[in-house]
Amino acid sequence: MAWDPALEAAFHPKVVAMVGISSDARPGMRRGPSGANFIISFEQLGFKGRIHPVNPKATEIMGRKAYPSVASIPEPVDLVVVSVPAQALPGVLEDCIAANAKNIHVFTAGFEETGEAERIELGHRVREIAERGGLRIIGPNCMGLYIPESGVGSFDRLPKESGPVAFISQSGGHLNWFSHYGQNYGIRFSKAISFGNAYVLDSTDYLEYFATDPDTGIICMYLEGVKDGRKLLQQVRAINRVKPIILWKAGLTEDGTRAVASHTASLAGQWGIWRGFFAQTGAVPVQSLEEMAEMAMTFLYVKQPPGKRVSVIGLGGGTSVASADVCNREGLDVPALTEETQTELKKFIPIAGSSVRNPLDTGLVFRNIDDLQREVELVTTDPNIDMLIVRPHLDMMSAGNSEDASQVIDYLIDISRNNPHGKPVVLVFHSFGNDPKELEMRLRFQVELPGQGIPVYISLNAACRALFRLYEYHRFQKALIAEDL
């Protein structure tokens, strides 16, 4: 189906029916997700509407009046959340049809993804009922919606704050982990959707919505398979002009394809086809949640770089060699600084044991805020350079004077926030030791700073990968826009 405006009610529901909550449901039940957890998640997120548990064997569940069926709920239902066993799903869907409740999140799993004949057949029956009843099914075999603004969610302790990132995920686990993980990268969500086996609504339907959703500025997608590949290609190419789409296409290896079958029973596709997809759409390719988070953080907090020539400030000749190798392998150039810049740098950087070409092997500046500022100013005004990666060493900083260290850190936060001279400045902290003070700093820098919107990367590879993709995205976007004119 195409995007149906009537699904909007599911995103901002006032009345929710929850079908399949056991009559003795209580918080903290062991052995995995249960219907009770949906109530708890909604409560934790501050859901302001009404939740009606549905269970023919109960009159009250978790302090709420229980109804024997969806049809018996005495008001229109915006969203039905179904967590009955697979065999009971057809009956519930008939009940939904009777109740004229058409927005349905089917958490229930156990269909064709099990590979068992009887369950494949059950899946066919469910599809048939959905089609007959015009049901807008999210799922089955999925965790459904996470919409912090509406207080809608399916997992424990989801963040309450909203933000500009949308996530369309074929996996519920990824939705959960990305929602949490995103906090460590300063990522907040407008809406996130886990859609599982995609009996009715597919990724393209949700994408259609996010294309014009004013709350969404960046779209992340995790896909195992897609029903209409051509439609997806056209959509992504069009939307990428306006909003970056970060796409993790999984299941493109032999064993990955088999794992997709066990998970959402989708057709995973072939790598050659998907390579063409990325080339034609400009979608930003990632291959893990970490990369997705790094990339979303990059779009959120790093300015468009004017080119792909990077300078790296670090400590150690071996590290400089490694830095240049990593930058080059990830697609960035590491040109020598201009003669003028080198001459200026040599005025305060000793020639023996240092290098002021690029990468800069000038670790001593991390012990002297004036030298550091002078160096950063020179590098970021060098016409050979489009962006800067700074790599302070935590062992050195934790061993030195802590007042000096905090001055340096404050300065680095400041320049990475303010992007002097319009050039991106990002941080990668080196940390090797076992010293408790250093370990504490490591945690702080790898979680807290990016969580506050300071672009800090866990490794130089990650930083270069993200910066190159950012550069490539903007290049592609310009080409697409030029095509339109």
Q: Which of residues 414-473 bind a copy of itself (CB under 8 A)?
A: 430, 432-435, 439, 442-443, 447, 451, 459, 461
Nearer to a copy of itself, 85 or 276 (CB): 85
Size of the site for a copy of itself (CB under 8 A): 89
Nearer to a copy of itself, 229 or 256 (CB): 256
Select the span of 130-138, 202-210, 297-305, 346-354 touching a copy of itself (CB under 8 A).
Answer: 346-354
Q: Interface mask (CB under 8 A) for a copy of itself, residues 148-187, using x and -?
A: --------xx-----------xxxxxx--xx-xx-xx---
Nearer to a copy of itself, 141 or 341 (CB): 141
92 Cα distance to chain centroid? 33
**Positions 252 through 281 that interact with a copy of itself (CB under 8 A):** 252-256, 258-260, 262-264
Tokens 């941080």 correspond to 427
222 touches a copy of itself by CB under 8 A: yes
| Coil/strand/helix, residue 252 | coil
Minimum distance from residue 275 beta carbon to a copy of itself (Å): 14
344 touches a copy of itself by CB under 8 A: no
- Identify residue 295 by its one-letter amino acid code: M
Q: 462 is written with which tokens?
A: 């990650």
Nearer to a copy of itself, 315 or 454 (CB): 315
- Identify residue 90 by its one-letter amino acid code: P
Minimum distance from residue 433 beta carbon to a copy of itself (Å): 5
Centre a 10 Å sphere on the Cβ of residue 8 and count the other Cβ atoms it contains.
Answer: 13
What 339-343 contacts at long range (C-beta under 8 Å, 24+ apart), as own/partner pairs, is 341/378, 341/379, 341/382, 341/384
Contact assessment for residue 473 and residue 284, using Cβ atoms and an 8 Å cutoff: yes
Nearer to a copy of itself, 359 or 392 (CB): 359
Q: Interface mask (CB under 8 A) for a copy of itself, residues 360-399, using x and -?
A: -x-xx--x---------------------------x---x
Tokens 């350079």 correspond to 385
Q: 396 is written with which tokens?
A: 């050195």
Minimum distance from residue 310 beta carbon to a copy of itself (Å): 9
192 conformational bin, left if phi > 0, alpha if psi -120 to 50, beta if neither = beta
C-alpha distances in Å from residue 369, one per residue of 155, 403, 411, 412: 45, 11, 8, 10
| Coil/strand/helix, residue 389 | strand
Q: Interface mask (CB under 8 A) for a copy of itself, residues 196-215, using x and -?
A: --------------------
287 touches a copy of itself by CB under 8 A: yes
Q: How far apart are alpha carbons 278 and 216 in whole angstroms?
A: 21
Minimum distance from residue 96 beta carbon to a copy of itself (Å): 20
DSSP 8-state class, residue 351: S
**Positions 82 through 141 that interact with a copy of itself (CB under 8 A):** 85-86, 108-110, 113-114, 116, 141
Task: Please pick, from the candidates 123, 148, 151, 359, the single residue that binds a copy of itself as defined by CB under 8 A.
Answer: 359
**Positions 298 through 337 that interact with a copy of itself (CB under 8 A):** 315-329, 333-336
| Residue among 249, 290, 254, 245 nearest 273 (CA) | 249
**Positions 36 through 75 that interact with a copy of itself (CB under 8 A):** none
Question: In the Cβ-directed half-sphere of 319, how many Cα atoms lie within 13 Å?
Answer: 22
Contact assessment for residue 246 and residue 286, using Cβ atoms and an 8 Å cutoff: yes
Q: 424 is written with which tokens?
A: 């991106």
Minimum distance from residue 400 beta carbon to a copy of itself (Å): 8
